[in-house]
């Protein structure tokens, strides 16, 4: 978010929501399309008050047991939530802002099982927290950071190249606001490495070891920065001698905010935060062709369905996950960027009362859990955990004409198909098998549900056909 912009936002108090299937365009009060709500935790449930607001989020998967954790930035603290069971997340505690100074802007990333936290709060520096301390926490804690880096004060954003172990702290008062680079290979002993001031203020960045179509730069560490009025592409392989490869500008520039490189390193998907309000068009996403890093080109512009402002977006595989402020979370298919196609395939609106171009709603998205569960950090309503709806039918399913009725139901559901049903298996929403019946060999079966509590389940027929079941 542009730090110089005065935000006039109003906190809207809501009750916590548990899992809610997306049905007829809504999951509870939230407009949705092919996205189910698993849970929502308000700020009072994650260490804040009714006056707390949210900002960035990230995730961590414990390599010891594959448990999944949400890291949620708030005005006063960073909250840690166990979301392994996404329907019943558990708040574990928080790290309060350095010197207890609040700020709307807080950013967190993860490297080597440690969280690295920066903020626009005066004198904040970078907090380092060992995430393995979350193991076996039974009551919410106020954690003391394991280390503090004071090489800068306020900082707008942090980006980490996990392949090299360098953190790029950007938007500080050092190096004209350009990247302040810190060696975090030993996470609790962060050491200043270098800085880059030649292109002035960077607002956000994605840094990676490049392995894309431009063979001249394969293997190099490349910094892709959103620098307020342009994109900068810098070779930072040698921290003491960064080399500017190119800059990219575009029409209707208002505030070059944030972008992410696709997995094939061929495109940079970019958002300008203020262009919707300045020029009056719908959400605009800019796709930059990186075939030649020395001469990036505009591939095409994608305009969304609403007037809402785009904020943080992340590419993952063939999908792009966008925090779209008042329009909530928008999910796009990016499998055919070569053909100038970027199609919205799902959405979940965390700000149901309006899609206007204002600074409320979804701030950021974390889409990288192996479970497929997705985090949304919302300025007004806290942390959401959502998931793409399970496939209700596919070509094979349609041909076999499987049906579940009644659905929703309480005690019994009848499963029918034209072909024989050989087996039925029921899974809960976190993927645990809770019921399995074999050797049915009939085209109809009455499944007793008395052993199941209310909730959403997945029913697998003949080990391959999946349907949702709602138990009241």
Question: Read out DSSP for 175-218?
Answer: GGGS-EEEE-SSTTS-EEEEE--TT----EEEEEE--SS-GGGT
Residues 184 and 211 in one domain: yes
- Does 1 reside within a domain? no
Helical H segments across 375-464, by residue range: 395-400
Residues 213 and 319 in one domain: yes
Per-residue pLDDT at 198 exceeds 70: yes
Residues 250 and 271 in one domain: yes
Q: What is the CATH number of the domain that holds 419?
A: 2.60.40.3080
Q: How confident is the model at residue 13 (pLDDT cuts 50, 70, 90)?
A: very low
The residue among 417 and 332 whose pLDDT is bigger is 332
Pairing mode, if any, of strands 329-333 and 30-33? unpaired
Q: How confident is the model at residue 438 (pLDDT cuts 50, 70, 90)?
A: confident
Angle at 32 between CA 27 and CA 34, to 5 degrees: 100
Mean residue pLDDT across the chain: 92
CB contact at 8 A, 166 and 181: yes
368, 311, 379: which is closest to 110 by C-alpha? 368
What percent of the chain stands above pLDDT 70? 93
Report CA dihedral (209, 214, 215, 219) to the nearest 10 degrees: -10
Place of tokens 């190249």: 161
Q: How confident is the model at residue 327 (pLDDT cuts 50, 70, 90)?
A: very high
Residues 300 and 204 in one domain: yes
Q: What Å distances lie between residue 177 and 157, 172, 226, CA to CA?
A: 11, 5, 12
Per-residue pLDDT at 326 exceeds 60: yes
Residues 403 and 384 in one domain: no
Read off the pLDDT of each residue in 244-261 and give the average, rounded to a whole number: 98
- Does 7 reside within a domain? no
Per-residue pLDDT at 10 exceeds 70: no
CB contact at 8 A, 134 and 69: yes
Residues 402 and 450 in one domain: yes
Q: Which domain covers residue 223, as residue numbers?
A: 26-388
Q: What is the pLDDT of residues 390-399, one digit of tens each?
A: 743 333 334 4
pLDDT on residue 417: 83
Residues 159 and 177 in one domain: yes
Per-residue pLDDT at 239 exceeds 90: yes
What is the C-alpha separation between 189 and 208, in angstroms, rounded? 22
Per-residue pLDDT at 71 exceeds 60: yes
Angle at 381 between CA 377 and CA 384, to 5 degrees: 45
Q: In what order do the strands lie in the sheet with 297-303?
A: 256-261, 267-272, 284-289, 297-303
pLDDT on residue 429: 67
Into how many domains does the chain fold? 2
Domain boundary (388, 416, 443) is at: 388
Read off the pLDDT of each residue in 344-353 and give the average, rounded to a whole number: 96
- Does 117 reside within a domain? yes
Residues 158 and 268 in one domain: yes
352, 336, 355, 334: which is closest to 344 by C-alpha? 334
pLDDT on residue 180: 98
- Does 3 reside within a domain? no
DSSP 124: -
Q: What is the pLDDT of residues 428-437, one digit of tens each?
A: 866 678 898 9
Q: How confident is the model at residue 222 (pLDDT cuts 50, 70, 90)?
A: very high
Q: In what order do the strands lie in the sheet with 442-448?
A: 403-405, 412-421, 442-448
- Does 6 reside within a domain? no
Q: What is the pLDDT of residues 378-388, one digit of tens each?
A: 999 999 999 99
Residues 450 and 346 in one domain: no
- Does 456 reside within a domain? yes
Residues 347 and 421 in one domain: no
| Residue 97 backbone zone (phi > 0: left; psi -120 to 50: alpha; other: beta) | beta
Per-residue pLDDT at 415 exceeds 60: yes
- Does 425 reside within a domain? yes
Domain boundary (338, 368, 388) is at: 388
- Does 288 reside within a domain? yes
Q: What is the pLDDT of residues 122-176, one digit of tens each?
A: 999 999 999 999 999 999 999 999 999 999 999 999 999 999 999 999 999 999 9
Domain boundary (388, 416, 448) is at: 388
Residues 47 and 165 in one domain: yes
Residues 338 and 442 in one domain: no
Q: What is the CATH number of the domain that holds 301?
A: 2.130.10.10
What's the pTM value of the predicted model, to 2 decimals? 0.82
Pick the range with the lowest mean pLDDT from 381-385, 440-444, 460-464: 460-464
């Amino acid at each position: 978010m542009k730090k110089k912009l005065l935000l006039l936002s109003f906190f809207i108090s809501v009750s916590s929501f548990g899992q809610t299937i997306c049905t007829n365009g809504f999951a509870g009060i939230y407009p949705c399309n092919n996205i189910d709500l698993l849970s929502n935790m308000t700020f009072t449930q994650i260490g804040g008050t009714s006056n707390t607001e949210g900002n960035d989020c990230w995730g961590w998967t414990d390599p010891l047991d594959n448990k999944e954790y949400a890291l949620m930035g708030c005005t006063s603290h960073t909250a840690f939530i166990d979301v392994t069971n996404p329907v019943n997340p558990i708040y574990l505690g928080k790290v309060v802002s350095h010197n207890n100074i609040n700020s709307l802007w807080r950013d967190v990333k993860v490297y080597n099982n440690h969280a690295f936290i920066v903020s626009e709060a005066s004198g904040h520096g970078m907090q380092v927290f060992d995430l393995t301390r979350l193991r076996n926490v039974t009551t919410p804690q106020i954690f003391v950071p394991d280390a503090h880096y004071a090489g800068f004060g306020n900082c707008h954003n942090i980006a980490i190249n996990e392949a090299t172990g360098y953190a790029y702290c950007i938007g500080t008062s050092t190096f004209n606001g350009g990247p302040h680079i810190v060696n975090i290979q030993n996470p609790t002993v962060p050491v200043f490495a270098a800085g880059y001031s030649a292109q002035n203020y960077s607002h956000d960045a994605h840094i990676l070891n490049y392995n894309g179509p431009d063979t001249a730069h394969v293997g190099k560490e490349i910094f892709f920065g959103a620098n307020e009025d342009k994109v900068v592409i810098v070779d930072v392989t040698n921290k003491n001698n960064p080399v500017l490869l190119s800059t990219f500008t575009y029409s209707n520039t208002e505030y070059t905010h944030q972008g992410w490189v696709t997995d094939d390193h061929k495109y940079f998907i970019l958002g300008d935060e203020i262009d919707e309000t300045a020029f009056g068009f719908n959400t605009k996403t800019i796709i930059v062709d990186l075939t030649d890093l020395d001469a990036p080109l505009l591939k095409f512009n994608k305009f969304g369905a609403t007037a809402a402002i785009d904020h943080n977006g992340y590419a993952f595989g063939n999908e792009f996950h966008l925090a779209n402020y008042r329009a909530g979370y928008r999910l796009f298919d990016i499998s055919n960027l070569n053909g100038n196609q970027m199609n919205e395939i799902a959405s979940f609106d965390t700000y149901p009362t309006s899609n206007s171009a204002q600074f409320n709603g979804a701030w950021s998205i974390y889409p990288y859990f192996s479970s497929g569960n997705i985090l949304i950090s919302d300025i007004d309503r806290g942390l959401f955990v959502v998931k793409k709806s399970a496939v209700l039918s596919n070509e094979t399913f349609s041909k076999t004409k499987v049906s579940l009725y009644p659905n929703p139901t309480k005690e019994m559901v009848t499963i029918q198909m034209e072909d024989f049903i050989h087996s039925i298996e029921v899974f809960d929403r976190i993927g645990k098998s809770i019921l399995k019946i074999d050797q049915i060999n009939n085209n109809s079966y009455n499944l007793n549900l008395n052993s199941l509590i209310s909730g959403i389940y997945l029913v697998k027929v003949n080990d391959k056909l999946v349907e949702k079941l709602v138990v009241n």
